[in-house]
Structure 1
Amino acid sequence: MANAGWYPDPGGAQGMYRYWDGHAWSAVTTSNPAAPPPSQGLGQGSSPLSGQQSYGAGQQSGTQGGQQPLGYSGQPSAYQAYQQQAGKKRSSGLGWWLGGAAILVVLIIIGVLVIRNLGGSGGLSNPLGGDDPSTNPCPVNTSSSSAAPNHPSDGRVHGGPISYPELGSPWGEPQGDDRVPFGADVQEQEITTEPNYQRDSSWVASVLVAQLIAGDGFYTPKDGVGIVAKCVVGKFYGDNPVQRHDLTSKAMKVDGHDAWYLQSHLTFNIEGLKAKGETMTLLVVSDGATSGLFYSSIPDNAKQYQAPADKALSELTVDK
């Protein structure tokens, strides 16, 4: 025989509970299964019909002689008892779930704020002179140009652990740059393609090599390429919207070292600038202890410089 307690109404009233005292059903129902036992209406042979009291002998109620309807056993079934207990467990579990969800939301908000603070500090000065873009995943650059090592004068442009054959005229002489947010020991060559498109601002085609900054979360060449690509799009074009379309993304080898190659076409509309897009090429190669970066950016209205940039990449080596 089932224990005393509130059970789903055997009369079928949805969402309602009737009290079983171990011998008989109560005359009353409730929607709260945690309610205290009813003070009246117990032991009266009550009907399971949605809170109506049972009729005595000679009265008409769909039953005869106070008997219960066909199939009614007079006590909670095992399934009804299970439903009662399961309902308690579901209520308890929901409380824990809601509490956990609230904690998770708080943690997510804190995480977003931390990421924003990290992403918006330091790094390359905005070359367009505008405010920081809304999405800027660039790592913080704590390197200094004075710390760059002395590279050999061997006709190659060295940056970090990699180098390429120096490009001739009209490419400028290799020069260092300590503003690059994702690199240290940066060496680059440039060609001015649109001088003074805005006051004190010129647009360039560029090729550079560098060492990826240590400790910024680059675990594989592919990871490094992904973060640098987002940094370029989020930082180098100010607040101007930039659309990125990846053309090629693949693993490769450079001097037997693991590398990842990405070439993307970027489109934009910048006031005063004739170029409406450019091709970005990135390659990150690991030499074990450090990682090297190759980057080139060739405007659409200066495509004649794409072939020299691609040649420099094809002749990239890891310095021993």
Structure 2
Amino acid sequence: MSGPGPAPAGYYPDPDGAPGMVRWWNGVTWSDVTTPAGPGVTTGLGETTSRPPAPAWQPPPAPRGPGRAVGIAVAAVVAVVVVAAVVVVAVVAGRPTADPRPTGVAGPVPTGPTFAPGTVQIVDEAAGIAYPFLGDGWYEYVLLPPLETTSVRGQYFVTQDAVPDGGEFIAQITSGPVAEGYGWTGPGSEQATVETLAESVRANYYPGPNEREELRDEAVTVDGAPGWLYEFTLSWDAEGYDATGERAALLLVDTGLAAPALLYLSIPNTHAELYGVIDRVVEAVDVL
């Protein structure tokens, strides 16, 4: 008879045991990126489900990122004097070594500076906003500021080490004060400004030609402040890119400062399981 198949793809409680965190299971292996359970993240079979079983032929998976550890269960029914020795030997022998096989939907393991322990929000004082830090797998943004803002704060991880233009491809959630030249003239110019910004990021950071599908283009209120949300997907067919598309959102917030705040969120379709964090971050933005 055939046994039950592996658990279906979906979010499940983090097998490493991080409280409140979930990890994507693609039906065969685990993603490298975790995210907090919450709005925008639907957990497979409920929050209290156990880890999906790995296929029988797989050895224990190797650690795939900083801070990850793989637990090893050992059972031995032997004389009391022998039990301790058996457990020690089994744990040492079972420690995983580098696994050269593909690791499912995850891309290269990112490296970079991390936020201070206990960080739950990224505070961008220059832009006048704060928003959730997504935790393990996301790193403090230390790349150059984008053209559209005068400074930058945020989080990111690398999804492809090298692309044809010589740079990296990343998922990011970053913020900063809007630079001059994008149409901001004060209250009432939110929509025109954010749509100009969207054209700029489309031209500067994505392979072309590409096609855009608008998802949302609407006025919003952010922690009592007026704003505008523009969300879209881009798709392309470009050699040398792992991703063939991306979901992105630009949130403009009039914080009362000289320049409005821009929150830019982008997730390549190689990590489509993380699309839900866009809504969750947008809904949790605070104005300082």
- TM interval, shorter chain, is 0.5 to 0.7
Contact residue 163 and residue 209 of structure 1 kept, 8 A: no
> 1:198 deviation in Å?
4.0
State the match for 1:259 in structure 2: 227
Contact residue 259 and residue 283 of structure 1 kept, 8 A: yes
Cα distance in 2 between the residues matched to 1:293 and 1:229: 11
Contact residue 250 and residue 262 of structure 1 kept, 8 A: yes
State the match for 2:214 in structure 1: 246
- SS of 1:309's equivalent in the other structure is helix
Q: Of 122, 128, 136, which residue of structure 2 is paired with 1:157?
A: 122
Cα distance in 2 between the residues matched to 1:275 and 1:197: 10
> 1:195 deviation in Å?
2.2
The residue type paired with residue 237 of structure 1 is Y
Cα distance in 2 between the residues matched to 1:197 and 1:181: 20
Residue 306 (structure 1) aligned with residue 275 (structure 2): yes
Where do residues 113-192 of structure 1 align in structure 2 (5 Å cutoff)?
155-159=120-124, 160-175=127-142, 177-178=144-145, 180-192=146-158
Calculate the TM-score normalised by the size of structure 1: 0.48
Residue 207 (structure 1) aligned with residue 191 (structure 2): no
- SS of 1:183's equivalent in the other structure is coil
- Listed one character per residue, the Cα deviations across residues 254-280 of structure 1 (whole Å, up to 9, x for unaligned) are 011111111101011222112111111
Calculate the TM-score normalised by the size of structure 2: 0.53
Say which structure, 1 or 2, has more relative contact order (CA 8 Å, 6+ apart).
Answer: 2
Q: How many residues align?
A: 165
> 1:236 deviation in Å?
1.2
Higher helix share: 1
Contact residue 182 and residue 197 of structure 2 kept, 8 A: no
Cα distance in 1 between the residues matched to 2:281 and 2:148: 20
- SS of 1:222's equivalent in the other structure is helix
Cα distance in 2 between the residues matched to 1:223 and 1:199: 30
- SS of 1:229's equivalent in the other structure is helix
CA RMSD between the two structures: 2.1
Where structure 2 has 5 or more consecutive residues not aligned to the other structure, the ranges are 1-117
- Considering only CA atoms, is the larger Rg found in Structure 1 or Structure 2? 1
The residue type paired with residue 177 of structure 1 is L
Contact residue 246 and residue 267 of structure 2 kept, 8 A: yes
Where do residues 1-320 of structure 1 align in structure 2 (5 Å cutoff)?
155-159=120-124, 160-175=127-142, 177-178=144-145, 180-198=146-164, 200-214=166-180, 216-219=182-185, 220-237=189-206, 240-289=208-257, 290-319=259-288
State the match for 1:146 in structure 2: none
Contact residue 157 and residue 174 of structure 1 kept, 8 A: no
The residue type paired with residue 160 of structure 2 is E
> 1:200 deviation in Å?
4.4
- SS of 1:184's equivalent in the other structure is coil
> 1:203 deviation in Å?
1.4
- SS of 2:136's equivalent in the other structure is coil
Cα distance in 2 between the residues matched to 1:204 and 1:172: 11
Cα distance in 1 between the residues matched to 2:229 and 2:160: 28
Residues 292 and 267 of structure 1: CA distance in aligned 2, closer, same or farther (over 3 Å):
same
> 1:216 deviation in Å?
4.4
- Listed one character per residue, the Cα deviations across residues 266-316 of structure 1 (whole Å, up to 9, x for unaligned) are 011222112111111111010223311111111112112222333222111
Identity %: 25
Cα distance in 1 between the residues matched to 2:168 and 2:181: 33
Contact residue 205 and residue 305 of structure 1 kept, 8 A: no
Contact residue 158 and residue 209 of structure 1 kept, 8 A: no
State the match for 2:30 in structure 1: none
> 1:154 deviation in Å?
6.2
- Listed one character per residue, the Cα deviations across residues 222-260 of structure 1 (whole Å, up to 9, x for unaligned) are 12211110101111125x212111111111100111111
> 1:174 deviation in Å?
3.8
Cα distance in 2 between the residues matched to 1:175 and 1:299: 19
Contact residue 184 and residue 213 of structure 1 kept, 8 A: yes
Residues 215 and 276 of structure 1: CA distance in aligned 2, closer, same or farther (over 3 Å):
closer
Contact residue 215 and residue 233 of structure 2 kept, 8 A: yes
